[in-house]
């Protein structure tokens, strides 16, 4: 690709970003336009406040979702995929995904098209938000979810389809495995190379950011050659590539009297069901969580609920040559265009994007402004309901954050 002055040059965790980068964006479906447009206002204001006009983002709208289908006949036009591939970046509002039928998830399609193999979701308690826990203050997790493997590949067949019948016949005749005739069939691939690269990224992050531990979440006691292999391959990467910086839980018990040596990142693992109950009972003992796609999806939302509301979380989808940044909530169509929805998830997605830009000054400004707005009880209805105060609208909340920068 021929570079121009607004292009970002990607290099793993280090990006070369010009002062005025072009950022493709999609408003999204449902509440997408409300939350995305207001998040962009906050991001722009923070950048201007931090850099006095020396840096700015050139936003470029892309078509995707319901709006794109009406205008082009496709929910994800080839032109959007091609443009995003070329620029390696997307700031994306929520897009609708049907349950039980219909079109394939556009989110998954975009992740696979850009090979954004790491879904990264920081989860940290925000002062003033009501949590179901007595002491949520110590929740400070970062979840690394493998993003391009597992059942999300979408290899499955309806129970009464020709393909399902052929798979059942093959398994019975060639493998001696009998599957009920009324069973739908899905395939769960977990690959070694894909596991190794997400494990590598999670461990590199932990070392770089001086985190305490990386916990591999899996159901390897049952799915031995998929999730069990994910566990083994992750340990192999830790030991073979980061030997001087990590220590395993077994080594701590056998060689260090149960105490993690100074300066070492602890590598351990937990079976998924145990992970969930420990995360609820003892969330403060966990730091970085590394998980296959499905487990990562589950645990991200569960952990988000512990701080009071997943609607306030943003997520990053990162690969070796680009990234996509989005809120973790859905489209909530009943609230569309009503100036009700909370834009905080999209704002935090923008903060993650700015962190990858290396623009940490506006990130710090937004973080403080969000906390101040919540302390002032200037919040949208989802948070107001928890705090027992009067709600303000999407635009008014964004105005409050901007005024608090």
Which of the following is catalytic: 27, 117, 125, 152?
152
Structure confidence at residue 135 as a pLDDT band (50, 70, 90): confident
Which of the following is catalytic: 273, 282, 337, 368?
273
Residue ending a domain, among 280, 307, 334, is 307
pLDDT at 176 over 90: yes
338 classed as catalytic: no
Residue ending a domain, among 140, 161, 187, is 187
Strands (E) across 227-287 are located at 246-248, 265-271
Q: CA-to-CA distance for 395 and 147, rounded, in angstroms?
A: 32
Strands (E) across 118-252 are located at 118-124, 140-146, 156-157, 185-186, 213-218, 246-248
pLDDT score of 266: 98
Q: Per mean pLDDT, which range of 2-6, 78-82, 93-97, 192-196 is the poorest? A: 2-6
Cα–Cα distances in Å, from 66 out to 29, 69, 95, 176, 244?
A: 6, 5, 8, 46, 50
pLDDT score of 102: 47
Cβ 212 vs Cβ 266: under 8 Å: yes
Find the largest Cα–Cα distance for the chain: 71
Give the tens place of pLDDT for each residue, 280-297: 888 889 999 999 999 999
- Average of pLDDT values for 359-376? 95
Report the Cα 240 to chain-centroid distance in Å: 27
pLDDT score of 4: 56
pLDDT score of 6: 62
Contacts of residue 11, Cβ cutoff 8 Å, sequence gap at least 6: none
pLDDT score of 314: 86
Phi, psi (degrees; rounded to nearest 5) at 91:
-105, 115
Pairing of strands 213-218, 265-271: parallel
Q: Are residues 197 and 235 in the same domain?
A: yes
User: Which residues fall in the annotated binding site for Mg(2+)?
Assistant: 297
Residue 314 lies in a domain: no
Q: Are residues 224 and 339 in the same domain?
A: no
pLDDT at 347 over 50: yes
51 classed as catalytic: no
Question: If you ran DSSP here, which 8-state letter would residue 204 be given?
Answer: H
Structure confidence at residue 45 as a pLDDT band (50, 70, 90): very high
Structure confidence at residue 2 as a pLDDT band (50, 70, 90): very low
Contacts of residue 9, Cβ cutoff 8 Å, sequence gap at least 6: 3, 15, 16
Q: Are residues 98 and 182 in the same domain?
A: no
Q: CA-to-CA distance for 384 and 130, rounded, in angstroms?
A: 10
pLDDT at 151 over 50: yes
273 classed as catalytic: yes
Residue 353 lies in a domain: yes
- Average of pLDDT values for 389-402? 96
More confident site: 132 or 59: 59
Residue ending a domain, among 139, 172, 187, is 187
Q: Are residues 203 and 292 in the same domain?
A: yes
Contacts of residue 320, Cβ cutoff 8 Å, sequence gap at least 6: 10, 12, 115
Cβ 214 vs Cβ 265: under 8 Å: yes
Residue 334 lies in a domain: yes
pLDDT score of 96: 85
Q: CA-to-CA distance for 372 and 35, rounded, in angstroms?
A: 19
Could you count the other beta carbons within 10 Å of the beta carbon of residue 309?
A: 20
pLDDT at 149 over 70: yes
| Burial (CB count <10 Å: 0-12, 13-18, 19+), residue 52 | exposed
- Average of pLDDT values for 354-380? 94
How much of the chain exceeds pLDDT 90, in percent? Answer: 68
Contacts of residue 123, Cβ cutoff 8 Å, sequence gap at least 6: 139, 140, 141, 142, 143, 300, 303, 304, 306, 307, 313
Structure confidence at residue 361 as a pLDDT band (50, 70, 90): very high
User: Which residues fall in the annotated binding site?
Assistant: 105, 107, 111, 121, 145, 297, 329-335, 342, 385
Q: Which residue has the tokens 């919540």?
A: 374
Cβ 21 vs Cβ 9: under 8 Å: no
Phi, psi (degrees; rounded to nearest 5) at 324:
-130, 135
Q: How much is the mean pLDDT over the chain?
A: 90
Q: Are residues 136 and 256 in the same domain?
A: yes
Q: Are residues 135 and 264 in the same domain?
A: yes
29 classed as catalytic: no
Which of the following is catalytic: 297, 309, 382, 399?
297
Q: Are residues 9 and 36 in the same domain?
A: yes
Cα–Cα distances in Å, from 180 out to 114, 159, 171, 177, 213?
A: 37, 9, 11, 10, 43
Structure confidence at residue 8 as a pLDDT band (50, 70, 90): confident
Give the tens place of pLDDT for each residue, 85-121: 888 899 999 988 654 444 457 887 888 888 899 999 9
pLDDT score of 1: 38
Residue 124 lies in a domain: no
Q: Are residues 280 and 335 in the same domain?
A: no
- Average of pLDDT values for 55-62? 95
pLDDT score of 288: 97
pLDDT score of 52: 95
User: Which residues fall in the annotated binding site for NADP(+)?
Assistant: 329-335, 342, 385
Residue 312 lies in a domain: no
Which of the following is catalytic: 194, 219, 264, 378?
219
Contacts of residue 332, Cβ cutoff 8 Å, sequence gap at least 6: 30, 31, 94, 341
User: Which residues fall in the annotated binding site for D-threo-isocitrate?
Assistant: 105, 107, 111, 121, 145
Q: Are residues 286 and 143 in the same domain?
A: yes
Question: For residue 172, what are the domain limits?
Answer: 152-187
Whole-prediction pTM:
0.85
Q: Are residues 161 and 199 in the same domain?
A: no
Report the Cα 188 to chain-centroid distance in Å: 21
Q: CA-to-CA distance for 178 and 158, rounded, in angstroms?
A: 17
CATH number at residue 292: 3.40.718.10
Q: Pick from 132, 129, 137: which is nearest to 380 by CA?
A: 129
Total count of domains within the chain:
3
- Average of pLDDT values for 370-376? 93
Exposure string over 100-125, b if 16+ CB within 10 A, otherwise e: eeeeebbbbbbbbebebbbbbbbbeb
Helix (H, G, I), strand (E, B) or coil at 148: coil
């Amino acid at each position: 690709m021929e570079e121009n002055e607004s292009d970002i040059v990607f290099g793993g965790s280090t990006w070369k970003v010009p002062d005025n980068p072009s950022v493709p964006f999609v408003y999204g479906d449902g509440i997408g336009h409300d939350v995305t447009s207001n998040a962009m206002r906050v991001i722009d204001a923070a950048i201007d406040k931090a850099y006095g006009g020396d840096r700015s983002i050139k936003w470029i709208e892309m078509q995707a979702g319901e709006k794109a289908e009406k205008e082009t006949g496709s929910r994800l036009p080839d032109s959007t995929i091609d443009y995003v591939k070329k620029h390696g970046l997307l700031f994306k509002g929520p897009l609708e995904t049907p349950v039980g039928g219909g079109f394939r998830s556009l989110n998954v399609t975009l992740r696979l098209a850009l090979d954004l193999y790491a879904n990264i979701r920081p989860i940290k308690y925000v002062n003033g938000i009501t949590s179901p826990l007595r002491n949520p203050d110590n929740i400070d997790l970062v979840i690394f979810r493998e993003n391009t493997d597992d059942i999300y590949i979408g290899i499955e067949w309806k129970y009464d389809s020709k393909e399902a019948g052929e798979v059942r016949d093959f398994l019975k005749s060639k493998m001696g495995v009998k599957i009920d005739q009324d069973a739908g069939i899905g395939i769960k691939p977990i690959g070694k190379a894909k596991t190794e690269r997400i494990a590598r990224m999670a461990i590199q992050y932990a070392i770089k950011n001086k985190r305490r531990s990386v916990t591999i979440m899996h159901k390897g006691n049952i799915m031995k050659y998929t999730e069990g292999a994910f566990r083994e391959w992750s340990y192999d990467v830790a030991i073979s590539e980061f030997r001087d910086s990590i220590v395993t839980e077994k080594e701590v018990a056998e060689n260090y009297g149960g105490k993690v040596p100074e300066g070492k990142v602890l590598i351990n693992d937990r079976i998924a069901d145990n992970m969930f109950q420990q995360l609820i009972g003892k969330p403060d003992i966990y730091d970085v969580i590394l998980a296959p796609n499905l487990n990562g999806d589950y645990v991200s939302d569960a952990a988000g609920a512990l701080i009071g509301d997943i609607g306030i979380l943003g997520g990053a989808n990162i690969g070796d040559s680009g990234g996509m940044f989005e809120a973790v909530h859905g489209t909530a169509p009943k609230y569309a265009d009503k100036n009700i929805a909370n834009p905080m998830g999209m704002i935090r997605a923008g903060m993650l994007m700015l962190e990858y830009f290396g623009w940490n000054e506006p990130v710090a400004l937004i973080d403080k402004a969000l906390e101040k707005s919540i302390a002032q009880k200037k919040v949208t209805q989802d948070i107001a309901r928890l705090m027992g105060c009067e709600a303000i609208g999407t635009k008014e909340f964004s105005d409050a954050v901007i005024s608090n920068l």
